[in-house]
Structure 1
Amino acid sequence: MLAYIFGVALFALGICVSVALHEAGHMLTAKAFGMKVRRYFVGFGPKVFSFRRGETEYGLKWIPLGGFCDIAGMTAMDEVTPDEAPRAMWRYKTWKRTVVLAAGSFTHFVLGFVVLYLMAVTMGLPNIMGTPQISSVSQCVQDATTREEYVNPRQCAPGAPAPAKEGGIQPGDVIVSVSGTPTPTFEDVVNEIQPLSGPTRITVERDGETVPLTVDVTQVKRPVLNAQGEREIVEVGSIGVTFPREFHYDLVAGLGGAATFTGDMLVQTWQRLLEFPERIPAVVEAIFGAERDPNTPVSVVGASRIGGEAVERGIWWLFLFLLASLNFFVGIFNLLPLLPLDGGHIAVTWYERVRDFVRKLRGKAAGGPVDYTKLSAVTMVVILIGGAVVLLTVTADIVNPIRLPS
C-alpha cells in the first residue's frame, strides 16, 4: 500500500514539474524577446509564498493543478501601465509571439523525449508498435503442452526441426510478409504462421534490404484457452523465433531510438485525440456500472492511480511511459486552435497577420488587434465543454477506474 501511495504521489509530482516547465517555457522565451513578465506562479488558489527577482514575481499556490505566466499585454485587451506599454506582448512580431505561445507545448515534447531517452538507455523502450523484429532464433521447435514447458523449454531432442534457423532467419531481421501477406506486427506474423505447415515463403528486411526466404513451418502442440475459458492442447504452426518486448540502446543510439519513438507516440497521440469525442459515451456508461474500456480517456486522477499501481508492482517502464504519454497529450492538446488554449491565441495571432497582409495588398491600412470580447462566447463554450469532460473522467476514475491486469 505504501508503494502505491508513493507511486501516486510521485506521478502527481511529475505532473507538477511538467506544469512548471510549461509555464517556464512561456516565461523564458518572453524574457528572451524583451517582453515584460509580471508573474510566474505554479498552482492556483491561495498563495503559499512568493518572492521577487527583478521585475518578475515568482511563487507557489496551494492547488498544484496548473500554473500561469503573466506576460504584460498578451492581448491588446489587457490593461498595461505606461511603462509596460512599449514591451506589451501584442506589439511584438508575429513569429516572436508564436514562439512564446508555443514554448509551453514545446517543453512538454522535450520532457517526454527526455523521459523516453532515459528509458532507452536503462530499461529499454517498449515495443508498443509490435515491430516483428527477431530478437532470437531457437535451436529447435518442439511440443510444449504446459506453460512450464513453454516458458522453460526442455533441451532440443536429436533431429528436432529448427525451421527459422535452417531457413536462414537471423536475429535483427524484420519479418515483413508471410506467404505474400504483409505482417506489420509480430501478432500478424503469429496469426499467419499458426495455420500453416510445410515450406512457406517468408520475406524479411535485413540491413535495409528485402530478403526472400523459404521456411519449413512445423506443427507443434501448444496449450490454449478455448471459447469456454478451458485449457486445451492444439497443433499450431511454429518457426522458432522470439520477438522483443522492448528495445535497448546505448547512450548514443538512445538519441535516435528515443527520437523515433517520440515521433510514433506523437502520431498515436494525435490519432487518440481525434477519437476522443467518440470515446466519451463509454466513460459515461462506466460511471453507471458498465465495464471500463481501457482505451477510454483518463483524467490526471486516473493516470496517477495507474502510475501508483505500476510502482506498487515494480513496473517502472509503465510509470515512465505514462508520464511521457501525458506530456505528449498535453502538448498536442494545448496547440489546438481553440481559446483559451495557447493554440487559440496562436490562431488569432496569425489571423491578424494574414488579414493585415490581405489588407495591404488591397491598399488598406492594417486592421486593429482582434477584439477578444467578441470571442468570449466561443471561449466560454470551450471552457464549459472542457470542464464537463474533466468532471466525467475524474468521476469515472474514482468510481470505476482503469486498473492494470492481474
Structure 2
Amino acid sequence: MEVLIMAGQLILGLSILVGLHEWGHMFAAKMFGMRVEKYFIGFPPKIFSITKGETEYGIGAIPLGGFVKISGMIDESMDTATMNQEPQPWEFRSKPAWQRLIVMLGGIIVNVIVGIFIFIVIAYHEGDKFLSINEVNKYGIFAGDLGQELGLKTGDKIVKVNGKSVANFSDALSSDVFLGSNSSYTVNRNGQEIQIDIPNNFIEKLSARQSPEERGRFIRAQEPFTIGEVAADSPGEKAGLETGDKVISIAGKPINYFHELQNELAKLKGKTTPLIVQRGTEQKTLNVTISEEGTLGFYPQSLLNYTSVDYTLGQAIVVGTNDAFAVVFNNIKGFGKIFRGEVSASKALSGPIGIARMFGGVWDWGRFWYLTGLLSMVLAFMNALPIPALDGGHAVILSYEIISGRKPSDKFLENAQKVGMVLLLGLMAFAIFNDVWKAVF
C-alpha cells in the first residue's frame, strides 16, 4: 500500500506540474496566433482525447511527462515532413523570433509562478514554527550515526555555525552548511569549545537518507516529552497509557528524551515489557507489548518551547518567494559541487523512484504541496538548462537569432533536437537505473 501511495502522490504532483507547464506553452502560442495541434498530459499510448477547435486534448498512458505540438516547430515528434513545405502564417516558424522565445519560455514562467504561489500559500497558512538555538542548548543535541561520524556527540551545544552565532536551530541544518564549502560547527562540550569541520562531500551521505526519519539520524534536539494523543487500539492504549503520562523507564532503562525511548523500542519489537510512567503524583507500571514496527502508538508532546510565527499576506509573499527561489539557488549550488568533483552525480541525482520516496508512504497533504512546489521550481530550473530539446536550449538558439539577425537552418535545428533527445533519454535512463541501484544496494 505504501508503494501505491508514493506512486499516487508522484503521479498526481507531476501531472499537475507538467499539465501547467505545457499549458504555459500552449497559452503563449495561441496568444500569438499559432496553431496548437495537440496538448497531452502523459506520453503515448493514448488513453483518452477530445478535440476542441484546432487542438486535440488528451491523456497518455505514461504519466512522467507531457507535450504540446505546435504547428511548424521542430520538437520531440521530429515531424520533419511538414518542415519541408512552405511556411504558413499560423506556424511557429513564421512568427517573429521574440514571439517564439516567449512561447518557449511559457512553460518555465508558469512553473515559477506556480512554485512561488504554493510557497506563499504554505507560508500564509502554516506560518513558521521553530526551535531557538538557546532552547535546544538547554539539553543539547542528539547526535545520530551520521552526526557521530562527523565528530559530534549527544549533549553537545551548538554555539556557532560557520564561525557565526545563530539564533535558529534550523540554521545549523540549512543549505548554506551542506551545499557550501569548508563549513563547520562550533560546539560547547563539557564547557570546552570544539570546532567540528564538515567535509565538502558530506551532503552525499545526508541526501542518501531519503526519508525524514532517516535524515533525523544526523542531529536533532534532545526533547523531554510527555504522552500526547494515544491512538485507538494501539499497544499503548491496550496497556493503559494516557495522555499526560511521563515515561520514566522501559524494560528497566531510564528514559529522559524521546530519542531514548525510540532507541529502546527498536530493540524490543514484538516483546512485552514493563513501562513505568509518572501520572500525576504517582508512578504506575504498565505491561506493554511493543508493535512489530517498534512503536507504542502515541504522539509525543514536546516539553521544549517552540516559537510560532504567523505571517500577514504581505510577509507570506516575501517569505514564500524567498523559499521558492532558494530551491533554484540550492540546485545551482548542488550542480557546482558535482562539477567540482566534491560529490558524485550518482549519489546526488534522483529519478522518479527517489522522488516518490520523498513523498513517503503516508498521504500528507502538507508535505505533498510542499514537495509539489519544490518540484515546480526544480522543473523550471531543469527546463531552463541550455540543452537542445529543453526549453532552455530553444531559448539560447532563439536569443542568438534575435541578437545576430540570422536564423539557424531547419537542418541544424533538427540535428540539435536529435542530440538533445539522446542526452535527455540517457539522463533519464541513468536516473532510473541509479534509483534502482540505491534502493537495492
Q: How would you bin the TM-score normalised by the shorter chain?
A: 0.5 to 0.7
**Deviation by residue 1:57-88 (Cα, 9 ceiling, x = unmatched):** 21122112221111112259672699970122
Q: Give the equivalent residue in structure 1 for 2:353.
A: 301
Alpha-carbon distance, 1:119 to partner: 1.9
CA RMSD of aligned residues (A): 4.3
Q: Give the equivalent residue in structure 2 for 1:194.
A: 188
CA distance 1:86–1:3, change in 2 (3 Å): same
CA distance 1:192–1:24, change in 2 (3 Å): same
**Deviation by residue 1:294-329 (Cα, 9 ceiling, x = unmatched):** xx11102210122134x36x5x55443332222212
CA distance 1:327–1:82, change in 2 (3 Å): same
Alignment of 1:57 with 2:56, yes or no, is yes
Alignment of 1:383 with 2:383, yes or no, is no
Alignment of 1:36 with 2:35, yes or no, is yes
Q: After the TM superposition, which residues 235-246 of structure 1 pair with which residues of structure 2 at under 5 Å, given as runs?
A: none
| Contact 1:137 1:242 (C-alpha < 8 Å) held by counterparts | no
Distance 2:86 2:419 in 1: 35
Distance 1:14 1:377 in 2: 33
Q: Give the equivalent residue in structure 2 for 1:92.
A: 95
Distance 2:139 2:60 in 1: 63
| Contact 1:120 1:247 (C-alpha < 8 Å) held by counterparts | no
**Deviation by residue 1:1-44 (Cα, 9 ceiling, x = unmatched):** x3552243022211011111111000011111211112212221
| Contact 1:52 1:58 (C-alpha < 8 Å) held by counterparts | yes
Alpha-carbon distance, 1:273 to partner: 3.5
The one-letter code matched in structure 1 to 2:8 is A
Distance 2:413 2:84 in 1: 25
Q: Give the equivalent residue in structure 2 for 1:353.
A: 402
Alpha-carbon distance, 1:351 to partner: 1.3
The one-letter code matched in structure 2 to 1:52 is T
CA distance 1:44–1:142, change in 2 (3 Å): closer
The one-letter code matched in structure 1 to 2:30 is K
- TM-score computed with the length of structure 2 as normaliser: 0.57
Alignment of 1:373 with 2:372, yes or no, is no
Distance 2:64 2:141 in 1: 52
**Deviation by residue 1:344-380 (Cα, 9 ceiling, x = unmatched):** 1111112122222xxxxxxxxxx4x312423555544
Distance 1:282 1:47 in 2: 34
Q: After the TM superposition, which residues 166-185 of structure 1 pair with which residues of structure 2 at under 5 Å, given as runs?
A: 181-183=163-165
Alpha-carbon distance, 1:141 to partner: 8.2
CA distance 1:340–1:260, change in 2 (3 Å): same
| Contact 2:98 2:402 (C-alpha < 8 Å) held by counterparts | no
| Contact 2:163 2:185 (C-alpha < 8 Å) held by counterparts | no
Distance 2:372 2:439 in 1: 18
Distance 1:105 1:180 in 2: 35
**Deviation by residue 1:269-298 (Cα, 9 ceiling, x = unmatched):** 222234456588562xxxxxxxxx5xx111
Match for residue 323 of structure 2 among 257, 261, 265: 261
Q: Give the equivalent residue in structure 2 for 1:401.
A: 439
Q: After the TM superposition, which residues 7-406 of structure 1 pair with which residues of structure 2 at under 5 Å, given as runs?
A: 7-74=6-73, 79=82, 85-124=88-127, 135=132, 181-183=163-165, 186-187=171-172, 191-192=185-186, 194=188, 248-276=310-338, 278=341, 281=344, 283=346, 293=347, 296-309=348-361, 311=362, 317-356=366-405, 367=406, 369-374=407-412, 376-401=414-439
CA distance 1:126–1:263, change in 2 (3 Å): farther
Q: Give the equivalent residue in structure 1 for 2:211.
A: none
**Deviation by residue 1:228-260 (Cα, 9 ceiling, x = unmatched):** x9xxxxxxxxxxx9786x864244422221012
Taking only the aligned residue pairs, the percentage that are identical comes to: 24
Alpha-carbon distance, 1:102 to partner: 0.4
The one-letter code matched in structure 1 to 2:315 is A
Distance 1:394 1:269 in 2: 19
**Deviation by residue 1:145-179 (Cα, 9 ceiling, x = unmatched):** 999xxxxxxxxxxxxxxxxxxxxxxxxxxxxx979
Distance 1:370 1:266 in 2: 31
Gaps of 5+ in 1: 128-133, 148-176, 199-221, 230-240, 284-292, 357-366
Distance 1:252 1:33 in 2: 34
Distance 1:279 1:49 in 2: 46
SS class of match (1:85): coil
The one-letter code matched in structure 2 to 1:343 is G
| Contact 1:119 1:125 (C-alpha < 8 Å) held by counterparts | no
| Contact 1:116 1:125 (C-alpha < 8 Å) held by counterparts | no
Gaps of 5+ in 2: 144-158, 178-183, 193-255, 264-303
Distance 1:145 1:13 in 2: 37
| Contact 1:115 1:320 (C-alpha < 8 Å) held by counterparts | yes
Distance 1:100 1:144 in 2: 54
**Deviation by residue 1:184-228 (Cα, 9 ceiling, x = unmatched):** 67439x944626969xxxxxxxxxxxxxxxxxxxxxxx99x9xxx
